[in-house]
Homo-oligomer: A and B are copies of this chain.
Amino acid sequence: MYLFSSLLKHFGMSIKFFRRNLNERPYLFIVGDVMEIKEIRIEELSTEKFIKEKTEEISSAVGDGVAINALSGGVDSSVVTMLGHKALGDGLKTYFIDNGLMRKDEPKKIVSLFKRLGVHVEIVDAKKQFFDALKGIKDPEEKREAVTQTFYKNVFGSLVKKSGAKYLLQGTILTDIDETVAGIKRQHNVFQQLGIDPEEAFGYKIIEPLVQLRKDSVRKVAEAIGLPSSLYKRIPFPGPALAARVIGEVTPGRIKTVREATAILESELASTNAFQYMAILHKDRVTGIRNGKREYGMQIEIRCWDSVDARTATPTRLNYDTLERLSKRTTTEVPGVVSVTYNVAPKPPSTMEAV
């Protein structure tokens, strides 16, 4: 194997193992054009230079063509939106896909924020498509896969066809690639790195201007490019959104439960300046008591992380007044929840997201 590998290397090729989903056995791929990604560390990042270079790269790649991108409201896709509009102006069409899995009032909030920045964002209602695709799925990887496929093939695919765009701008960052290559999680946006050709698979080319950065650097660029601190200081939120915050099947009812819990959590923990915090709805039911009667109810797990770059993380030492207020509000305001726990395991061996 070593000899074979060396031989390939001699011809500029390499061996990659990957899986389309994590239940499958790994495939062996021989890849001839793997892009070498050179990390830009935060201490060597000049935001001005970075913005200039990436704007030029996008301009020269797209030329007079049309590009589109999906804005989720997270810091990564927000920076990409700003870079794209800087580079292409009206040549970039930005869509906010409402997949029904977003946080409370998210579509409205994000669209009006970008309106103030002079960027027009169009909301696409795709709730039904996503919930249909997620029906009956319990496995975390199949869930991610269903969200990915619905996003690219059904929803975004048809937008691309309608718009005539051949380019998709996307906010993949370096940590996404690390975790996918390590087989920890199937991120939704690393086709190229895995050797899947997005042009063949989905009909368009993907441009990923943030792929050399980690989260801390992306935040620096966000500030430099004029995004408000409410956005670039925003905690990370995963691609499959609240679907990744529900253990077991994703239904409109379960999303509603975790959305309410998330709203409470975000209002209570905003002042902590933690790296990330989340509410997770468990599938396990636990015994509770309400009005003197047994209630076999739901459990919400809270995670709040201290981290610099998401590669490692430790649970924030939240004070008990905060935890008790969170618990009280969650069990009082979210119907059916009788139990609240707080994660105390670091990453590793935990990961930041549970699903």
The reply to whether B342 and A342 form a contact with Cβ atoms under 8 Å apart is: yes
Closest CB of chain B to A297's CB: distance in Å?
7
Check A22 against B185 for contact (C-beta < 8 Å): no
Q: Is the CB of B344 within 8 A of A293?
A: no
B320 x A317 contact (CB < 8 A): yes
Assembly stoichiometry (copies)? 2
> For residue A348, which residues in chain B have a CB less than 8 angstroms away from its CB?
288-290
- Selected from B182, B289, B339, B354, the residue in CB contact (under 8 A) with A287 is B354
Please tell me if A343 contacts chain B, counting CB pairs below 8 Å.
yes
Contacts of A302 in B (CB 8 A): 344
- How would residues 237 to 268 of chain A score, 1 for a CB under 8 Å from any chain B CB and 0 otherwise? 00000000001100000000000000000000
Q: How far is the CB of A329 from chain B (nearest CB, A)?
A: 11
**Interface residue tally on A, bucketed by range:** 35 or more
Q: Is A323 an interface residue (CB 8 A)?
A: yes
**Hey, which chain B residues are within 8 Å of A173, CB to CB?**
none
**A288-B349 in contact (CB<8A):** yes
* Chain B proximity mask over A285-299: 1 for CB below 8 Å, otherwise 0: 111111011111100
Interface string of A266-291 (1 = CB under 8 A from B): 00000000000000001111111110
CB-defined contacts of A339 to chain B, threshold 8 Å: 343, 345, 349-350, 354
Q: Is A284 a contact of B287 with CB atoms below 8 Å?
A: no
A347 at the binding interface (Cβ < 8 Å): yes
B344 near A286 with CB under 8 A, answer no
On whether the beta carbons of B286 and A284 are closer than 8 Å, the reply is no
Contact assessment for A288 and B323 in the assembled complex, using a CB-CB cutoff below 8 Å? no
Q: How far is the CA of A347 from the CA of B340 in the complex (A)?
A: 11
Q: How far is the CA of A295 from the CA of B184 in the complex (A)?
A: 7
Asked whether any CB of chain B lies closer than 8 Å to the CB of A355, the reply is yes
- Closest 10 A/B residue pairs (Cβ): A341-B341, A184-B294, A286-B354, A340-B345, A323-B344, A317-B320, A289-B348, A327-B344, A338-B349, A327-B345
Known pairs A286-B351, A327-B344 / 6 extra A-B pairs, C-beta < 8 Å: A247-B286, A286-B354, A288-B351, A289-B348, A290-B349, A339-B349
- The 27 listed contacts between A and B (C-beta, < 8 Å) are A140-B287, A182-B292, A182-B293, A182-B294, A282-B284, A284-B284, A287-B353, A287-B354, A287-B355, A288-B350, A289-B349, A290-B348, A295-B349, A302-B344, A317-B320, A320-B344, A324-B344, A326-B344, A327-B344, A327-B345, A339-B349, A339-B354, A341-B341, A341-B342, A341-B343, A341-B344, A342-B344
